[in-house]
Amino acid sequence: MQDRDGYIWLDGQWLPWREAKVHALTHTLHYGYGCFEGIRAYETANGPAIFRLDEHVRRLVDSAHILAIDLPVDRATLSSLCCEAIRRNELRSGYIRPLVFLGAEKLGVDPAGADTHVMVAAWPWGAYLGGNAIKDGIRVRVSSYARHHPNVQMCRAKAISTYANSILAVREARRDGYDEALLLDTEGYVAEGSSENVFIVRDGEVLQPETTSALDGITRRTVETLAREAGLTVRAKRITRDEVVCADEVFLTGTAAEITPVIEVDRRRIGTGQPGPVTRLLQQRYFACVRGEDASHTAWLTPI
């Protein structure tokens, strides 16, 4: 990642990509305290546009607030930096990564005295879970690791530190030959994927976990709206792992993973073993929105 052309915004300036560096004693590098966002820009007929930028920037500000980190930049500045990251790097589509971290001004767990730093980068990023994942679906295992309890880490924040949990889970899943992990919460109910929210479909009803431990995903919220507009019932409830394996359809949602069908969980086939009709319908509607082809949702796009 480090050896590329392009520009990264770091603490007030656009630096050449290779020069956007931090010191080895950076507080966040030692203790993982900070937060970030993951945002996609898509190619539309009118040039690149960022999908649901306001919601992502708002979640970043909320994440910082949850962590009690004072941001040195406001929402409007963050939004314009995201647009500028696409523009400066001459991307037609891409993934934008704003990151808030604490600096090398001091070490020791208490961050008092460490300055807040902000970085924004953008680069091209294709299918997150592999070339055919979106078309053919993926195989998932229930993780032996539980998703954070909300009193261990406050789970509405997209906090850097929560991702050690995601990394343990995804490495375990891949080591065992699966594509992705599905984490349960500490009570044993379905929470989410290592970097995606999860939905199941049963008898035409779209169900999502009623959980306080999953990230409040923006793709999840988009899918909820699109499913309702398609006349489907969407409901949040506690979901158990046996309900997942007995579902007609299962899919994961996330900015990076978009809408990825799950065709197998713990070596049990889901439905027909092929991505199902509800998943396909929601994929179609989602991709129409992000590409600016759905006139009723152009408000979700910020043209660059």
CB neighbours of residue 266 within 10 Å: 13
Q: Distance (Å, rounded) from C-alpha 38 to C-alpha 29?
A: 19
Distances in Å between the Cα of 294 and the Cα atoms of 94, 138, 290 are 20, 27, 8
Q: Is 258 in the site for ligand PPE (CB under 6 A)?
A: no
Which residue's CB is nearer to ligand PPE, number 83 or number 257?
A: 257
Q: No. of H helices and E strands in the chain?
A: 8, 17
Q: Which of 255, 279, 283, 302 forms a contact with ligand PPE (CB under 6 A)?
A: 255
The nearest distance, CB 273 to ligand PPE, in angstroms, is 25
Which residue's CB is nearer to ligand PPE, number 121 or number 218?
A: 218
Q: Which of 79, 166, 208, 302 forms a contact with ligand PPE (CB under 6 A)?
A: 166
Of the candidate spans 76-84, 205-213, 249-257, 281-289, the one that interacts with ligand PPE by CB under 6 A turns out to be 249-257
Q: Which listed residue (21, 106, 135, 158) is catalytic? A: 158
The nearest distance, CB 220 to ligand PPE, in angstroms, is 6
The nearest distance, CB 203 to ligand PPE, in angstroms, is 26
The nearest distance, CB 170 to ligand PPE, in angstroms, is 9
Question: Hey, which residues between 136 and 155 contact ligand PPE (CB under 6 A)?
Answer: none
Which residue's CB is nearer to ligand PPE, number 214 or number 270?
A: 214
Q: Is 219 in the site for ligand PPE (CB under 6 A)?
A: yes
Q: Is 185 in the site for ligand PPE (CB under 6 A)?
A: no
Long-range Cβ pairs for the range 58-63 (8 Å, 24+): 59/158, 59/216, 59/218, 60/35, 60/36, 60/98, 60/100, 60/158, 62/156, 62/157, 63/35, 63/36, 63/37, 63/100, 63/156, 63/157, 63/158, 63/159
Cβ 28 vs Cβ 102: under 8 Å:
yes
Of the candidate spans 13-21, 189-197, 270-278, 279-287, the one that interacts with ligand PPE by CB under 6 A turns out to be 189-197
Q: Is 215 in the site for ligand PPE (CB under 6 A)?
A: yes
Half-sphere exposure (Cβ direction) of 167: Cα atoms closer than 13 Å: 5
The nearest distance, CB 155 to ligand PPE, in angstroms, is 9
Torsion of CA 99, 81, 286, 128, to 10 degrees: -40
Q: Is 197 in the site for ligand PPE (CB under 6 A)?
A: yes
The nearest distance, CB 146 to ligand PPE, in angstroms, is 13
Closest-approach residue to ligand PPE (CB) = 38
CB neighbours of residue 303 within 10 Å: 13
H or E element at residue 259:
strand 258-265
Q: Is 217 in the site for ligand PPE (CB under 6 A)?
A: yes
Structure tokens of 34? 């900070």
Of the candidate spans 12-20, 21-29, 63-71, 251-259, the one that interacts with ligand PPE by CB under 6 A turns out to be 251-259
Q: Distance (Å, rounded) from C-alpha 250 to C-alpha 257?
A: 14
Query: Length of the chain, please?
Result: 304
Torsion of CA 146, 280, 256, 59, to 10 degrees: -80
Structure tokens of 41? 């820009």
Q: Among this protein's residues, is 135 annotated catalytic? A: no
Active site residues: 158
Residues that bind ligand PPE (CB under 6 A): 38, 166, 192, 195-197, 215, 217-220, 253-257
